[in-house]
Amino acid sequence: MIKIQRFVCNMLQENCYVVSDESCEAVVIDNGALYDAERKAICDYIDNGGLTLKHVVCTHAHFDHCFGTASLWKRYGLKPTLPKGDEAFADLDVQMRQMWGSSYDEEQAPLAPFYKDGDSFSFGSHKLKAISTPGHSPGSCCLYCEEEHVLFSGDTLFCQSIGRTDLPGGDWGDMQRSLRLLAGLPADTKVLSGHGPETTIGQELRMNPYMRV
């Protein structure tokens, strides 16, 4: 069984997840930790739990999901990986200036090769499979643990909402196709979003009008 610890990070209240299993191997998803206390809390959880970090993965390249990747690279030597299609957003300083109107002067982590639809990230006896879900950004992906019906949906699907499509690279038609794809997952699939509370596919099919596209 996987263990999931959520950390709420930065000024946009982004959800970072540390996912591990009985092997004590772990994956960090969407480390948006911007402030020192946030970064320390995540590293303390990894260290105090005796976890071995195997992968640092971002569901998409927007700055609020990547702020903390450099801190993990410096401490554990792991380069973060971003989804193919989001190459244009890989430089956080450029992205911050374009989308937020401010600079980002911290050292950025070097990147591991970009991942694509169907790639998987193994840890212990589990794996997370990348499902391409463009719409919020060109490369947006969800990460799915099929064995346990758990989906890390990034900014594609939220509890009774969805990610914005009016940002650079966003596309409403792509988002509709991505939501139809997610609607085909088992109804009991737990959805852990990039912002806000958890939900399930079944609940979203009942309550989220955007899922009925």
Asked if residue 198 lies in contact with residue 190, where contact means CB atoms within 8 angstroms, the answer is yes
Tens digits of per-residue pLDDT, 112-166? 999 999 999 999 999 999 999 999 999 999 999 999 999 999 999 999 999 999 9
Tens digits of per-residue pLDDT, 161-181? 999 999 999 999 999 999 999
Q: What is this structure's pTM? A: 0.97
Q: Give the pLDDT band (50/70/90) at residue 102.
A: confident
Count Cβ neighbours within 10 Å for each residue of 173-194 and write b for 16 or more, e otherwise.
ebbeebbeebbebeeebbbbbb
Tens digits of per-residue pLDDT, 35-66? 999 999 999 999 999 999 999 999 999 999 99
Percent of the chain with pLDDT over 70: 100
Could you list the residue range(s) of the whole structural domain that residue 113 is in? Answer: 3-211
Residue of higher predicted confidence among 93 and 68: 68
pLDDT at 63: 95
CA of 100: how far to CAs of 20, 64, 138, 139, in Å? 33, 11, 19, 20
Number of domains observed in the structure of the chain: 1
Q: At what angle do helices 69-76 and 36-48 cross, to 10 degrees?
A: 40
Given a cut of 90, is residue 101 above it in pLDDT?
A: no
What CATH number is given to the structural domain containing 17?
A: 3.60.15.10
